Structure 1
Amino acid sequence: MISWMQRHNKYLVWTIWVATVAFIGAGFVGWGSYNFGSKAGNVAKVGEIEIPQSKLNMVYSDMYNEYNQKMQGQLDEAKAKELGLVQQAFAAIETQTKVLNFAKENGIIVSDEEIAKVLQSIKLFQKNGQFSKENYDHYLKNRRMTAKTFEEALREELTISKTLNLLTTNAMPFEEKVVSSAINIADKIAYKVLTLNDIKVDINDSDIQTYWELQKDNFMTPKQYKLSIVWTDTTDTAVTDDELQKHFAENSFNYTDQEGKQLSFEEAKENVTNDLKLQKSKKAAQKAYIAFKKGELSSNETLTLPVNDMKLSAEIWDEIAQKSVGEIMKPKVANDRYATIKIEEVIEPRVKSYEEAKEETTAMYKVAMQQKGLSELAENTLQNFDDINATTSNFLTLNKNVNLAPLNSEESLQFIQKLFTSPEEKGMISVVDKVVIYNILEQKVMPTDENQSASIKQRVGQLKKGIFENNFLQTLDKKYPVEVYVQGLTN
């Protein structure tokens, strides 16, 4: 199913939003300037089922909020259109609805009792381990939806889950044996690891300069901007504890840890203080902007910075890229203070002189020569493998982590994965900046232990279900036609 979603409707998961109760605190996001000429409030028809605009709105809103969270609040309508969020939301619903058509046609239903059982199991709706109607009503109010709408969406999600679960089959003994053999095959090898340190490179100025002549277009100065900046500091802006408490109470949803858990006031106090100081200093920054624009105020400093320098935020650099020389930007936050910026000059990239690029060129030349030398050494070592002092390993398998000195654990894992997908009995495998020359000495199938048996059964089941779901969903594509009433919902 995963591969099918990647090729077809990548965002099927967005439609199954109810059971996980995603984006609880998010507000509803509208459609912006999209214009719907739908039929009786519907935007499309899949098979025998109409898709209401309200359903598309909900999926789009959840998707918008998730993207906005990942982009740290920087998503806007224009960016949403660029990302094709409308099309993604519709593609997800289209796939969901095809499964619902099949369920309807074959009498697969979810009872009211099943709905009630799932509602009672959702921890968000519980208080002291019991279902709380107060919590449930509060959730519905925040999402601006009725219980009927929510429970119908939940019914659809459970119907899809029940339908796809019909494709689950037990692993057969022969299938388990095949997978077990693939997992437990073991190789004993002789090997030698070659590294860049095995290659000695003689470096002289003439060779480096010749290399620079051939590669000089790769050695460019960064694009730079000369900027005059008026800073509005917030350090001395006074805030009281009462003001901080009030600001936190009104904006507590903005203060969470990396896992999305809301912080307490004490945990968030430093950020709350910075935010409130910025809020209270905004008017002073706007006054400074007006005075600067009128020529009544001089800049605090003039800087020449490469694009995306950390002194300014990504948001500021995005706006600078859209401005012309002489323009003055409105105040923007940069490291807990406001910056009002005038673009004085744009300094375009140019090819660095040899002297400017010599250090970079020398490093690149050395690596290029080492890589060339390593490749030649590897070929020679492979041809004369029987004559070298190689290391012999124990039996290696895919499911057992080992360290093949001098490789580290990650490099060893990469090598073993490549070894078991290589058709060559004797060969070379690149791992990061190293090359491993190997020769398989012996091969056997290791016995399956009890703990592994359960894992193999699970893998076989997952593999079979994935194949069945892939074929099933491809069949639904052909079985249920899609009629779209609204332009712009499909690519």
Structure 2
Amino acid sequence: MAGMQNIREGLTGNLTKIIVIAIVITFVGSIGWAGFFSQGNANVIATIGSKQITNADLNFEAASQQFLLNQRFPDQQIEDEVLMEISIESLIRKFGILDFIENNGLYLADSFVFKELAKDEQFQENGRFSKQSFDAFARSNGFIPQDYLNRVKQDLVLDFWKQSLLKSSFLSEGEVQESLVLAEQERDITFMKLPVNSFSKEVETSEDTLLDFYNDNINDYVKEMKTRVNYLTLSVEDFKSIVEISDTDVADEYQSYIDEFDTTERKSVSHIMLNIDADRTSQEATKILENTKSRLSEGEDFSALVTEISDDEGTKDSGGSLGVTDGTLLPSEFEEALSDMSEGEIYGPIELNSSVHLIKLTKKEIPEPRSIESMQAQIKENLINETALANYGNLLDSASDMVFTMGSLDDIAKELNIKSIDSGLFSLNEASEDLNSAPILDIIFDTNVSNDLIELIETSNETAIIFERTDFQDESFIDFSSIKGQVSEDYKLMVTKRMTSEFADQTLADLREGQDFRSLAANTDFKLETYKGLKRDSSLLTSEAIANIFNLPRSKAGKVYGSSVSRNGDYLVYRLDSVNNQDTEMDPESKKGFFDYLSDQRVLAEYSELLFAVQENSKVTKSY
């Protein structure tokens, strides 16, 4: 653990909490894919150095990748084979770094990970970390708790490693000042602008030339596939506004709540645990806890002794808290003892299969039901939602039957008393919000579907669409005669761009052979212009043109040339005339912002280089 200490220095608790929460959110959002691969630690799929990638690792990674891909491409279906390939490659990169980190003596203990997880409320009981809550969370989402813990630990290690790069990267004052001078540098240029349209008069066309161009570029002249549908929208929201809930309904629901309310006494329990293992017998553990019990009777703090003595790393930072029991949740040996204990009393030692415990009854409480006044609004809202959902479900069942028994969507609309909507002709990129769903678009743009087919698609848990395609126009090539004018314009543009490029290349070649810029311009219809004080943030030229100009060597100012294409397709041929460094002073706040930007860029570059180096030097053995 000592190896990670320097990395953690300077990190705030909030940052670490964000890391942990982000990991948890990824798993929560992606559990639907968890069952694709087998669970457990068997079946090694690859080995990277001393690290083995198992099916359990692949299961986690596939779930994470599925979630991230769904966030980025919500309307696309990712094939299982593609997802598996992405996940395996991601794991190879990750485990290469983990192997590198481990070989350099960096690791995290479980106790530290539990401390970080305790910052998330869903893993807390009474404000303290609950190992039971953590294990229950993992199991409820289809994961083995230890596998889940290992994945969280891996992600924390990787994030701490990235943070260590940030902390170790260093920029000197001289480097910052030099970068500032370069950022504020100005350059003077002389340039000649070559408008594309200035060559258009030289372009000659004929029917055969245009027809050949049309045939060579036939895929540019395609009429988009279009479709037209008649559809109905079904939604839970449509029912919510018409549901009526009476005071009697609310009272009946509240009475059900009272009738079912569990008034069983709740007991908050903490413990001190010692393991029975090769290093400690049950007698030795019992003797230690007997002594601990004596210390407690003399007034020592229970939580302090938990930290000092307990082997349960998961509850050390929560005063040994085991959470709350209703008499059924803890081992029977604990529950039997608790039944006769008073609040604050300590009992034990109690021996289980492989451990010995002292338990403390920290609090007793009998739950009391809330008043009807405090619950009325929530009860009414719940009843409205439940009734609307039930009515929607009934409508959905009826509509499904009608899709198979009725001959037209108009008949269904009349039966359901819902107004149908005519989409009008539209292309794939013009789909309305109602119809912009992959399952719907796949059907209505399918060339093999007949126009009289009626379908019902559930677009979410609370919405559905019934639709009938009424018209369909397949993709087709546009006839040459109808777009001859457009073809002519496209052909002229292509030729003029080529002529402009060739003229610019020839001009550059002549300049580099020693011809005079002004004399060359005088022999053409183009004039020379100057740009004084060009800066890197100028908006008058493209970023590519500015980058090219600032890459010209200052030592050759006055005799070095370049060319670039402007935003509208015109060409610029230019000469670097001079380079001017400005005496720049920044206020402290701006200078700090500039320093932070340079530091971030350096860290990113160093991280990328190190990641590449680790991957290049990792020995990877694939077993699939």
Common topology (TM > 0.5): yes
Which residue matches 1:428?
Answer: 563
1:318 to 439, 442, 462: 442
1:291 to 389, 396, 405: 405
Amino acid in the other structure paired with 2:190: A
Deviation at 1:430, TM superposition (A): 0.5
2:103 to 99, 102, 105: 105
Indicate the SS of the match to 2:32. coil
- Write the distance in 2 (CA, Å) between the matches of 1:97 and 1:379: 50
Is 2:489 the partner of 1:349? no
Is 2:59 the partner of 1:57? yes
Is 2:443 the partner of 1:442? no
Q: Is the 8 A contact 1:224 1:306 kept in 2?
A: yes
Amino acid in the other structure paired with 1:352: D
Q: Identity rate of aligned residues, in percent?
A: 14
Indicate the SS of the match to 2:79. helix
Provide closer, same or farther for how the CA distance between residues 209 and 292 of structure 1 changes in structure 2, counting only shifts above 3 A. farther
- Write the distance in 1 (CA, Å) between the matches of 2:600 and 2:527: 44
Q: Is the 8 A contact 1:99 1:163 kept in 2?
A: no
Q: Is the 8 A contact 2:226 2:445 kept in 1?
A: no
The aligned runs of 1:204-219 (5 Å cut-off) are: 207=206, 210-216=209-215, 217-218=218-219
The aligned runs of 1:85-164 (5 Å cut-off) are: 85-111=83-109, 114-115=112-113, 118-119=116-117, 143=141, 150-164=148-162
Is 2:80 the partner of 1:81? yes
Provide closer, same or farther for how the CA distance between residues 427 and 27 of structure 1 changes in structure 2, counting only shifts above 3 A. closer
Indicate the SS of the match to 2:476. coil
The aligned runs of 1:377-388 (5 Å cut-off) are: 385-386=517-518, 387=522
Q: Is the 8 A contact 2:203 2:496 kept in 1?
A: no
The aligned runs of 1:181-330 (5 Å cut-off) are: 182-196=182-196, 201=201, 207=206, 210-216=209-215, 217-218=218-219, 220-222=221-223, 224=225, 231-232=231-232, 239-241=239-241, 282-283=396-397, 285-291=399-405, 310=431, 313=436, 315=438, 316-320=440-444, 324=448, 326=450, 328=453, 330=455
Bigger radius of gyration among the two: 2
- Write the distance in 2 (CA, Å) between the matches of 1:119 and 1:37: 23
Structure 1 alignment gaps of length 5 or more: 1-15, 246-273
The aligned runs of 1:30-49 (5 Å cut-off) are: 30=33, 40=42, 42-49=44-51
Q: Is the 8 A contact 1:29 1:65 kept in 2?
A: no
- Write the distance in 2 (CA, Å) between the matches of 1:146 and 1:236: 37
Provide closer, same or farther for how the CA distance between residues 80 and 276 of structure 1 changes in structure 2, counting only shifts above 3 A. farther
Q: Is the 8 A contact 1:428 1:438 kept in 2?
A: yes
Deviation at 1:280, TM superposition (A): 6.5
Provide closer, same or farther for how the CA distance between residues 439 and 121 of structure 1 changes in structure 2, counting only shifts above 3 A. farther
- Write the distance in 1 (CA, Å) between the matches of 2:551 and 2:124: 50
Indicate the SS of the match to 1:239. helix
Provide closer, same or farther for how the CA distance between residues 38 and 158 of structure 1 changes in structure 2, counting only shifts above 3 A. closer
Deviation at 1:339, TM superposition (A): 0.9
Which residue matches 2:534?
Answer: 396
Q: Is the 8 A contact 1:189 1:442 kept in 2?
A: yes
Structure 2 alignment gaps of length 5 or more: 1-17, 246-387, 414-419, 554-558
Provide closer, same or farther for how the CA distance between residues 170 and 375 of structure 1 changes in structure 2, counting only shifts above 3 A. closer
- Write the distance in 2 (CA, Å) between the matches of 1:208 and 1:278: 63
Indicate the SS of the match to 1:155. helix
Which residue matches 2:275?
Answer: none
TM-score, length of structure 2 as denominator length:
0.53
- Write the distance in 1 (CA, Å) between the matches of 2:116 and 2:423: 62
Q: Is the 8 A contact 1:126 1:132 kept in 2?
A: yes
Which residue matches 1:361?
Answer: 487
Which residue matches 2:468?
Answer: 340
Q: Is the 8 A contact 1:48 1:101 kept in 2?
A: yes
Deviation at 1:432, TM superposition (A): 1.7
Indicate the SS of the match to 1:63. helix
- Write the distance in 2 (CA, Å) between the matches of 1:464 and 1:60: 31
CA RMSD of aligned residues (A): 5.3
Provide closer, same or farther for how the CA distance between residues 47 and 304 of structure 1 changes in structure 2, counting only shifts above 3 A. same
Indicate the SS of the match to 1:395. strand
- Write the distance in 2 (CA, Å) between the matches of 1:244 and 1:192: 77
Amino acid in the other structure paired with 1:324: N
Provide closer, same or farther for how the CA distance between residues 470 and 302 of structure 1 changes in structure 2, counting only shifts above 3 A. closer
Deviation at 1:275, TM superposition (A): 11
- Write the distance in 1 (CA, Å) between the matches of 2:390 and 2:567: 48
- Write the distance in 2 (CA, Å) between the matches of 1:277 and 1:197: 66
Q: Is the 8 A contact 1:43 1:53 kept in 2?
A: yes
- Write the distance in 1 (CA, Å) between the matches of 2:407 and 2:146: 56
